[in-house]
Amino acid sequence: MEKRRYTAEEKARLIRLAKTHSNPEIARILGRTVASVQTMLSHLKVRRTRVWTKEEIARLRSLYSSKTNVELAAMFGVQEYTIQNLACRLNLKKSYNVGCYQKGSTPWNYGKKVPTVSDNAKRTQFKKGQSPKNTLQDGAIVVRQRIDRTTPPQKFIRVGPRKWEQLSRYTWIKHHGPIPPGHCVTFIDGNSLNCDIENLRLITRKENLLRNSGAIHLPDSMVAFYLAGKQGNPKAFARTPELIKLKRDQLLSNRQLKNKRNGKTTSH
């Protein structure tokens, strides 16, 4: 059967009707199928909101609670999401969750046996209590680091199944006993991978905060932040070492003056 092509007059009339009529109504007026109308509207790049008549809305209200959205979309000649959007605007609710098992329903596989696994498949299945071949044993040491690399790498030691501990803490506890609350283990040379006991030191959390405080030690990144201010770009100032040095000297001088007025001693 030869397809009937749209004439120029039909296309122009289709564009006009699309502003005030729904696709099924347009199909009846032009003597076309709903699918043909939808295809031509898409070809003509006509973008519009679905026009719903009062009769269609009333019909949707009566059918929405007992029909699935897929069924309704087929009945009205629209996409499923169109039904969902209109139902949301009209505050329509399903009488039950269509598509889910209802109380008393029987599953399709009720009473059926699970298919037996072949011998070849059984040989490759994990047995109860079996561990993969690449499982590390107690005492194994690995290096880990955050994906964003915002913290230095750390060594971890396996102390039990699915239980790992930082090697620095493990070494300290082994030589000096439990770590008191409010304390942490740090590295004397700054190398987080050097976990020898001679390189470890126990400090308080307060000392660690002061040790890592950029506002106290004034690294280049912190000085660039002060130079940029709230609205500036610190990265631009980070490339000017002369300004960094001048600003750091100014901050240290202001700190000394402030501490002197308050009767404090300073060290940097």
Q: What is the pLDDT of residue 265?
A: 56
Q: What is the pLDDT of residue 1?
A: 43
Taking only the tens place, the pLDDT of each residue in 30-41 is: 889 888 888 888
- Give pTM, 2 decimals: 0.43
Taking only the tens place, the pLDDT of each residue in 16-25 is: 888 777 788 8
Instruction: Using alpha carbons only, give the angle 239, 215, 217 rounded to the nearest 5 degrees.
Output: 75
**Which own/partner contact pairs does 239-244 have at CB distance under 8 Å and 24+ positions apart?**
244/220
Residue with the larger pLDDT of the pair 25 and 163 = 163
The sheet that has 141-144: what strands, in order across it?
141-144, 154-160, 163-166
Stretch 234-257: mean pLDDT? 85
- For strand 200-204 and strand 183-187, is the pairing parallel, antiparallel, or unpaired? antiparallel
